Structure formats: structure tokens, C-alpha cells
């Protein structure tokens, strides 16, 4: 699908990849960035970007938040874009959420930001920006405090919207396709 549709960037959550896999995850014409879950099964995130983009992975300290950050260098007078892909497990502890929010605060100084991922917060109503649970309300608060707009408009799993797409500038995005 990646090569057929000639996607510029593809973000993947819950890769379940680790060093034990003997198969290749490389795609012709794409550069792969990945962050595997450490110490237990599942999770993990990855990002493919076209090799024509000048990209660099951004190191973040190992803090339990499953996030990967990549800087795409802007051409000519265009600003760089900072792109993050995250996986938040359904029962993530509030301490790890707080570390994730700290990461977001640290990157929010960039002029062009995009964040995608599976955040597992099914009680959020994106039409009204409301939530039942405290952890979900804190997530909404963080997004609002950092001026992120949520751009997914359709349900992504059953009758919920778990896979989300945020940007701090609406003009950053073209076609957004959410696949499961």
C-alpha cells in the first residue's frame, strides 16, 4: 500500500518489532525510523519517509512514552517539520502520560508540528472537546495548551476514534488516510 499509493510519510503504531525478527522491514525508496518497545511484548512505533526528504531522527531520553520524533528539513525558505508518532497503551499510568506531555511541551516550540498515533482514549468527544475520565481530560488540556488541532473526522476502531492526527498548523496536511 505504501509504495502503490506513493505515500510521502507513513506512521505505524503497535509494530511489535524487535531484534528477533529475521524479516526485512525496509521499503524501496523509503527511510525507516523505529522505536521498539523495550522489556515487554507488543507496542512500538515506526515511521517511513520518502528518501527524497532530508530527515533526521530526534533523540529523546528513554522515559517510557512510546514516541518517535523525526525532523523533515524544509527546502528553500520553508520551515522544518517536526513529526511525531506515538502509541499510548490503553491502561497507561498517569506518570507515563505526564512524561509524554513534557515531551510535547519540549517540541511545541517548533513552528511546524505534526503528531499521529494510537492514543487509546475512547471517551473523548472530539466534536465538543470533552471527556469523561481524568486522564482523557488531561490529554485534551495538553493538546489545547499547545495549540494542536485534531484532524481525524471519522471513527477509527469500532465506534471510537483512537487513531488521531494533530497539527499546530492546518495547512501542513494534504490527504490523511487512517488504516487499521
Interval 72-95 mean pLDDT: 87
> Dihedrals φ, ψ of 97, to 5°?
-55, -45
Is the model's pLDDT at 105 over the cut of 60?
yes
Interval 120-141 mean pLDDT: 92
Distances 65 to 47, 68, 153 between C-alpha atoms, Å: 16, 9, 25
**Domain spanning 9-172, CATH class:** alpha beta
Residues 6+ apart with CB under 8 A from 175: none
Please give the residue that has the higher pLDDT: either 50 or 77. Answer: 50
Give the pairing type, strands 30-35 and 66-72.
Answer: unpaired
Interatomic CA distance for residues 26 and 93, integer angstroms: 33
Residue 177's pLDDT is: 56
Query: Which sequence spans correspond to the domains of the chain?
Result: 9-172
Task: Enter the pTM of the model.
Answer: 0.81
Residues 6+ apart with CB under 8 A from 39: none
Lowest-pLDDT range, 18-32, 93-107, 129-143? Answer: 18-32
Amino acid at each position: 500500500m505504501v509504495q502503490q499509493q506513493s505515500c510521502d510519510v507513513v506512521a505505524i503504531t503497535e509494530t511489535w518489532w524487535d531484534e528477533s525478527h529475521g524479516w526485512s522491514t525496509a521499503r524501496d525508496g523509503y527511510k525507516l525510523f523505529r522505536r521498539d518497545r523495550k522489556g515487554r511484548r507488543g507496542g512500538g512505533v515506526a515511521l517511513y519517509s520518502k528518501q527524497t526528504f532530508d530527515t533526521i531522527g530526534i533523540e529523546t531520553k528513554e522515559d517510557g512514552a512510546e514516541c518517535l520524533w523525526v525532523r523533515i528539513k524544509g527546502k528553500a525558505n520553508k520551515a522544518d517539520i517536526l513529526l511525531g508518532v506515538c502509541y499510548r497503551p490503553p491502561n497507561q499510568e498517569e506518570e507515563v502520560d505526564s512524561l509524554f506531555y513534557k515531551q510535547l511541551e519540549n517540541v511545541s516550540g517548533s513552528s511546524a508540528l505534526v503528531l499521529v498515533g494510537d492514543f487509546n482514549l475512547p471517551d473523548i468527544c472530539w466534536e465538543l472537546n470533552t471527556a469523561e475520565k481524568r486522564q482523557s481530560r488531561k490529554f485534551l488540556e495538553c493538546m489545547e495548551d499547545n495549540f494542536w488541532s485534531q484532524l481525524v473526522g471519522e471513527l477509527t476502531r469500532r465506534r471510537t476514534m483512537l487513531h488521531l492526527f494533530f497539527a499546530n498548523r492546518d495547512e501542513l496536511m494534504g490527504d490523511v488516510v487512517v488504516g487499521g
